[in-house]
Chain A
């Protein structure tokens, strides 16, 4: 095999525009991480490893033909549900007052992470199976497929993840053609049930929402994150303080600055111009995702591609919104940028599916 052939074999199922957009964001991740970790090269290398591992997994998924992808939907969903139920058993690991983890002997895993992919996959599979004549009944079943895991995750409690999975599931329903009237009804119902929800929430969850309106009332606790995040972003100004020059970052004011709050570091050092560039990079990746969605050849792939793209956009919005103080603090990393192996892997598995959808469709058509 010549070099050229080898490269063709490797890149056959990679979508270059998408990969380019992702690579830019990952580069931003490594650069910002170096600053955020106080020039800790080990941290950067470790994130590099996370990226490499995730890229390999992405490559494998991208090379899986679509019928394989579809076949995984039910097993992934069932295993995910079993693991979520397992969390309720004594095998569940409680930490920080929430039982989100499962002890499987060799390691502790977070089943809700699997469901970020498992739920939309299952719903898209279900719609594909009943494509011939979709009725309201089908939507109700699909909604149940969504609500069962979401309910279990909300009970852990992990409201942030529950809401994000709800969003990705809702995108599938929306793209599958959920009628406008039903959506309007749901919207009204959601508004009406808000006071009930408020009552059902845990104290700390209510606390975080209250913080949004008046962060100063808990300057040592949760409000501290919000205040310091806003100061970092705001003091960055138009052009930023310059790479490695963020005072908020380097004087230890910012909490969790390599993970959930990495955007504050970026924003402080690169300013509004940097933010615009970052938003453009995200927009580019999202746009490519929509192009793939529009070109997708089957019902299943259209729904899947659309949901993956919209969910990615939602993650980016929620994280930046939370750091800049317009959304409550929920544990959502900045996609492709925050330090962390698990979220990187989950995201890149999604992108692997997008690539598979884009590069296998010709074969399906023929």
Chain B
């Protein structure tokens, strides 16, 4: 009985399966039937229509590449523009012997080994059917010579193209960045943003700097031209045309002249300078020295030039403003003083006695002041003017790292400023949590001591310090630093101003700000650490010098700049703003291996302020042959 049921079930099951198999066959026939119907519709009923499209009128949809938007400074000075020129281009798949062809071409136009190397690199990155540039910016004579011989070179052609030009070259390289050929990574990104259609026909895209950040504004909208082509694929007539829309013009807050003066003020020094309008966060000058020639990258850089730039000990490709991370040194002291006032750890009049060193309770380790023997009795005002280290060792210890972290975060330390450039680094504002995560160690009291004078773990970028200085100058209300002021629509000519709401609001008694500002003003007056650089100014300056150690020193060792390797000398800082009462400009200068802030950094800031506030152009001096030895710096030991 059981057996029969099983058998029956089995038969039933086979029957069910067969039934479903037949349904499947019907399903497949239905699908094939749908296809057949579609073929009949397209190939029999609508054949003539598609025949017309394909055979009689071979319509080709051609992209028309828009002109890239211009970049101007705040006064309308052109910083990036396009010019048309001729290029010599080769389609490798249409050329029988590439080397011979290039050798023959070299007899007609100037082809350097550099051009050949670049072409090789280009070829490795592209498909053979793509047209690749061998020479750009041909002279009229070269164009004429090639045109006469063109019949000998199938697969080689001259094309008129728009080139990007940066008139200020290396002076604006770190700011503007550059455009370069679209590579696979760019293509992937464009596809991701569904923007690949708009980049049909476009060869270049912003790679770094503002060119990259504002790519969407600068690129414009690609036009479409429907053309009829004959059987050989040549365009016969234009059927319809949707014109391209040029990219928008960027109007920067940068003052090109100020930028130039700042660049020149550095002489042979490496370093960074940021000038900001404290009232709105507009960046007036953005200098990272040394710069590099951006046009090298536009046409695709050859391996030798790249190696030279990349391996240079001066690191010209490093954007020091944005990505350079340095100990802040004593420039942190005004902010530490504000923290002391904010948490009522110090009153303005409270004094400490500085014997020339600081010790933690229960420890014999001497945290030395820069001045042997100390500053004697020091209150807050004096602590800033003479840059007393002992005062801040004690203040930091009493505040504790948590409160220091909280307060300095409010000024933007340890965070990206959010400037309109990619690749910013965030510096380092250490905390207990950070140390635990980074070193799996607890925070020691000794760690806090050195944070008080901007050494130890803490790192800042010049941009961060500039934003914080501007916030201090503006009485606690700070803005996100930004470079683009306005965007001018290329078709409507309407100007769209980019609004910038305050990003920081450090709520503190205005009297406290006043105290610190007055102390910073005294820094630039006789007796202060930046007195010499500020002498004779027709406006008031508030400032603070600083030095950042490059190499650590042993207990009891003495710093002697003249005996050190030049690249191991301290970095010089100067933070400043002017006029003190109604600040119009905040300037932060970092001079790498510059030694003392008052000696090398402050004079650079002074030149920038003189031009910005008075319109005074510095008298050009012949650049010094070598970086001056530390003996040129008045007081080596002054911090």
- How many residues of A are in contact with the other chain, CB < 8 A? 55
- The yes or no answer to A97 lying at the interface (CB within 8 A) is yes
How far apart sit A97 and B188, CA to CA, in the bound complex (Å)? 7
Q: By the criterion CB–CB under 8 Å, are A247 and B16 in contact?
A: no
Task: Given the known inter-chain contacts A234-B50, A302-B17, please indicate yes or no for A97 contacting B55, CB distance below 8 A.
Answer: no
With a CB–CB cut-off of 8 A, which chain B residues contact A224?
A: 61
User: B31, B43, B47, B63 — which one has the most chain A CB atoms within 10 A of its CB?
Assistant: B43
B21's partner among A175, A232, A252 (CB-CB below 8 A) is A175
Which residues from 204 to 251 on chain A have a C-beta closer than 8 Å to any C-beta of chain B? 204, 207, 218-222, 224, 230-238, 247-248, 251
Stretch at the interface among B32-40, B398-406, B474-482, B619-627: B32-40
Query: With A96-B188, A232-B54, A310-B28 in contact, do A293 and B21 touch (Cβ < 8 Å)?
Result: yes
**Cβ < 8 Å to B, chain A residues 300-319:** 302, 306, 309-310, 313-314, 317
Question: Does chain A have a CB within 8 A of B455?
Answer: no
Q: Flag B583-599 by CB within 8 Å of A: 1 or 0 each.
A: 00000000000000000
Least Cβ distance of B58 to chain A in Å? 6
Write the nearest CB–CB distance from B571 to chain A, whole angstroms. Answer: 36
Residue from B21, B32, B54 in contact with A235 in the complex, judged by beta carbons closer than 8 Å: B54
Known contacts A224-B61, A283-B32, A324-B42: A231-B24 contact under CB 8 Å = no
B28 touches A321 (CB 8 A): no
**Cα of A220 to Cα of B196 in the assembled complex, Å:** 9
Contact present for A272 and B40 (CB under 8 Å): yes
Which secondary structure dominates where chain B touches chain A? Answer: helix
* Complex Cα spacing A70 to B406, Å: 63
Known: A275-B39, A293-B21, A306-B21. A234 touches B49 (CB 8 A): yes
Interface size of B by CB at 8 A reads 46
Q: Residue A79 at the B interface, CB < 8 A?
A: no
**How distant is the Cα of A203 from the Cα of B193 in the complex, in angstroms?**
10
Whether the pair B28, A203 counts as a contact (CB closer than 8 A) is no
Interface centre among B31, B34, B49 (most CB of A within 10 A): B31
User: A69 → chain B, closest Cβ, in Å?
Assistant: 19
Q: A96-B188, A253-B60, A326-B34 are in contact. Are A220 and B224 (CB under 8 A)?
A: yes
Check if A92 is an interface residue, CB within 8 A of chain B: no
A218 to B242, CA, bound (A): 13
Q: Are B38 and A326 closer than 8 Å at their CB atoms?
A: yes
B144: Cβ under 8 A from any A Cβ? no
Question: In angstroms, how far is the closest chain A Cβ from the Cβ of B193?
Answer: 8
Instruction: Report the nearest B residue to A233, measured CB to CB.
Output: B42
Instruction: Give A294's nearest chain B residue, CB to CB.
Output: B21
Name the distance in Å between A210's Cβ and chain B's nearest Cβ. Answer: 12
A96: chain B residues at CB < 8 Å are 188, 191-192
Task: Kindly state the separation between the CA atoms of A174 and B60 in the bound complex, as whole angstroms.
Answer: 47
If the complex has contacts A238-B43, A321-B35, A324-B42, are A231 and B50 also in contact, measured as CB distance less than 8 A? yes
Interface residues of B in 10-67 (CB under 8 A from A): 13, 16-18, 20-21, 24-25, 27-28, 31-32, 34-36, 38-40, 42-44, 46-47, 49-51, 53-55, 58, 60-61, 63
Q: List 22 A-B contacts (CB under 8 A).
A: A97-B191, A175-B24, A220-B222, A220-B224, A221-B194, A221-B196, A224-B61, A233-B50, A234-B46, A234-B51, A235-B55, A247-B231, A252-B233, A271-B43, A272-B39, A275-B35, A276-B39, A283-B32, A317-B34, A317-B35, A324-B42, A326-B34
